[in-house]
Amino acid sequence: MHVHPKRFYVTVFVALLVFTAVTTAAAYVDLGRMNTVVALAIAVCKATLVVLFFMHLKEQTGMTRVVILAALLWLAVLIGITSSDVFTRGWSERGRPWQQSTVAPVSYSNPSP
C-alpha cells in the first residue's frame, strides 16, 4: 500500500479544474472543426488524470490493467465498426464522399434507413 501526500491529490484536482475552465472557454472561440477535437482531447486528458492518480492505475496488478485495456479495445470495436457501417451508406446529406459528383444529396429529413 502506498499512501500519497495530500498535496498529490490537490495538484490533480487543480489540474482538473483548470482543464474544465479551458474547455468551457474554448467552446466560445470559433475554431471550426477543431472545436470538437479540442473538447474531446481535453476530456481524454482529464479522464487520464483521474484514472492515473485518483484511481491509482500505477498500483494495480497486471491482470487489472489487462481488464482496463480490454474495456478500451471493445469500446473502439463498438464505435469503430458501427461508424464504418453507418458512414459508408451515404445517409448523411453530403452522400458518400467518392460519389459526390454523381449522387444528389439525400435530404436530412428523409434518410433511407
List residues binding another protein (CB under 8 A).
Answer: 1, 3-4, 6, 9-10, 12-13, 16-17, 20, 23-24, 26-30, 35-36, 39-40, 42-43, 46-47, 50-51, 53-56, 60-61, 63-64, 67-68, 70-72, 74-75, 78-79, 82-83, 86-87, 91-92, 108-109, 111
Give the burial string for 56-91 (b: 16+ CB within 10 Å, else e): eeeeeeeeeeeeeeeeeeeeeeeeeeeeeeeeeebe
Q: Judged by CB, which is closer to another protein: 87, or 98?
A: 87
- How is residue 75 written as a grid cell? 469500446
Q: Judged by CB, which is closer to another protein: 79, or 103?
A: 79
Sign of torsion, CA 55 60 66 67?
negative
Q: CB of 50: closest distance to another protein in angstroms?
A: 5
Q: Judged by CB, which is closer to another protein: 63, or 104?
A: 63
Q: CA separation (Å) from 68 to 9, 93, 112?
A: 22, 37, 38
Q: Judged by CB, which is closer to another protein: 27, or 98?
A: 27
